Amino acid sequence: MRPFRPRPPRLLRGYRPLRPGPDRFDQRSDRARLRSRMVALVLACLTLMTLDHHPGAGSPLEPARSAMGSVFGPVESATSAAIRPVTDIGGWLHSRTSMQNDIASLEAQNSRLRAQAATTQYARNQLAEYQGLTSAAGTLGQALVPAHVVAYGPAQSFSRTVTIDAGSDAGITPDQTVLNADGLVGRVLRVTATTATVLLIVDSGSVVGGRVGASMKVGFLHGEGGLGDHGSLDLQLVDASQAPAQGDTIVTWGSHDGAPYVSGVPIGRVTTVYASLRESTQRAVIKPFVDFAALDLVGVVVPSGTHSDRGIIEADGTLQ
């Protein structure tokens, strides 16, 4: 008689059920083969980690990284461009939870006008962003290469990096400042021909020299590796006796030749000040101006007159 066989659950339909009886890995040789393969794979991983222990220009894996970058960059750019019209609307509403109440009341007032403008809204948003970037270039007196953020590093990797769709062809080199209309975004870590990887200032490995706008005191801002909207920075002043006041604006201090950060870019606002008596230092928490969960258009600071494959926004607002 044919044994009764239950119909497999829907999730597994098409998936061949396991053969009854002793499975393949009970045989000693197969087991040994599996074990040696596992040992080889784990050793390969450990070798990679050893070779790459100091990522950066000196790592032997850097050529592999840039090769992967040149292959993956265009794919990421294309995917991101394909879905941007869809995500732009969603991101506009959902990523700024803190502003949702304001948006709700404004939306009620504007619903009639918005209905008329619905088809052009995306273009309007983009125009506003470009205008913001142009005015940022003017305020700073620096030339900017515009670029879009096309990929985010997952938070599971515990580092805050993004890919932008402009690379060495657009005149970008490592250690250049990245900003958007709101303020400082980060710095360029490495470039391929068409993409660049940007370290966000909220990454826990990021250190930025900052200056308190009100008192001109300098200090260092450490990223806290915070996630999503909660990204914040930690400010320690060089002069420990001076406490920044709540609400003070922090701008970049700048370094020689503007690498990695040019001076005078707004970073954020002091939200809380902690005085640590034991260490006799003053710590302040800075809320960045930039919404890192909704990055789209950014500008990379380049020397004026850089040769680029796209328009450069010059300091006087002209497009080169």
Partner 1 sequence: MAGVLVLVALVLQVAVFPHLAWDGIVPNFCLLVVVAAALVRGPGFAATLGFFAGLALDLAPPADHVAGRWALALVIVGYVAGLMRQDTRSSATTVVATVAASSFIGTSVYALSGVVLGDAVVGSGDLLRVILVALLWDVLLTPLVLPGVIRLLTRLEPARA
Interacting positions 176-195 with partner 1 (CB under 8 A)? 189-190, 192, 195
| From 70-78, 102-110, 127-135, 239-247, span contacting partner 1 (CB under 8 A) | 70-78
Can you tell me which of 45, 118, 238, 319 binds partner 1, judged by CB under 8 A? 45
Can you tell me which of 1, 18, 115, 277 binds partner 1, judged by CB under 8 A? 18
Nearest distance, CB of residue 175 and partner 1, angstroms: 14
Check residue 65 for interaction with partner 1 (CB under 8 A). Answer: yes
| Contact set for partner 1, span 123-162 (CB under 8 A) | 150-162
Nearest distance, CB of residue 36 and partner 1, angstroms: 10
Q: Of the two residues 75 and 123, which places its CB atom closer to partner 1 in the complex?
A: 75
| Contact set for partner 1, span 81-100 (CB under 8 A) | 83, 87, 90-91
Can you tell me which of 209, 225, 254, 258 binds partner 1, judged by CB under 8 A? 225
- Helix (H), strand (E), coil (C) string for the chain: CCCCCCCCCHHHCCCCCCCCCCCHHHCHHHHHHHHHHHHHHHHHHHHHHHHCCCCCCCCCCHHHHHHHHHHHHHHHHHHHHHHHHHHHHHHHHHCCHHHHHHHHHHHHHHHHHHHHHHHHHHHHHHHHHHHHHHHHHHHHCCEEEEEEEEEECCHHHCCCEEEECCCHHHCCCCCCEEECCCCEEEEEEEECCCCEEEEECCCCCCEEEEEECCCCCEEEEEECCCCHHHCCEEEEECCCCCCCCCCCEEEECCCHHHCCCCCCCEEEEEEEEEEECCCCEEEEEEEECCCHHHCCEEEEEECCCCCCCCCCECCCCCEC
Can you tell me which of 11, 57, 104, 115 binds partner 1, judged by CB under 8 A? 11
Q: Of the two residues 213 and 291, which places its CB atom closer to partner 1 in the complex?
A: 291
| From 59-67, 112-120, 135-143, 270-278, span contacting partner 1 (CB under 8 A) | 59-67
Can you tell me which of 177, 197, 249, 282 binds partner 1, judged by CB under 8 A? 197
Q: Of the two residues 168 and 215, which places its CB atom closer to partner 1 in the complex?
A: 168
| Contact set for partner 1, span 231-290 (CB under 8 A) | none
